[in-house]
Amino acid sequence: MKLAVKFTDDSPSFVNGLEVGRIYAKMEQGIQHVDNVGFPVHAQNKQVLINFCDYFGYTPLFGSDDFPGWIEFFAIKNVTFKN
């Protein structure tokens, strides 16, 4: 079996799966604008979120990291239109 997306950290300290799990579920549903219900995400999850976006066809946007260990995040579904 091949993983669609894998976590980048398999150490015992990696506890951020719930956070990205909620975001993954939104992307799997195809929701147009995805975020962490308005809250920043753990900076450790940045690469995992980029991987999710690549897999599901989203453009990730990361904002400020005013609080150590946290970063603003949202993603927009890539849409193409045929004229």
> In sequence order, which residues have a C-beta less than 8 Å from that of residue 60 and are 6 or more positions away?
49, 50, 53, 73, 74, 75
The DSSP code sequence of 24-79 is HHHHHHT-SEEESTTS-EEGGGHHHHHHHHHHHTEEEEE----STTEE-EEEEE--
Record the pTM. 0.78
Residues 7-48 pLDDT 10s: 666 654 455 667 888 899 999 999 999 999 889 998 888 988
- Residue 22 host element (H or E): helix 17-29
